[in-house]
Amino acid sequence: MWPGAVADALARFEWAFRRPGRYLNASRVWQPGLEVEYARDDLEEVVLHLPRGAQRDLGRLVARIDDEFERRTLPNPGPVNAFTVGGWWWSRIREH
Residue 66, pLDDT score: 96
28: left (phi over 0), alpha (psi -120 to 50) or beta: beta
pLDDT, tens digit (0-9, with 9 covering 90-100), for 27-78: 666 565 678 888 999 999 999 999 999 999 999 999 999 999 999 998 888 7
Q: Is-contact 94 26, C-beta < 8 A?
A: yes
pLDDT surpassing 70 at residue 19: yes
Residue 85, pLDDT score: 62
The whole-model pTM stands at 0.83
Residue 80, pLDDT score: 65
For the chain, domain boundaries: 5-93
Q: Is-contact 34 16, C-beta < 8 A?
A: no
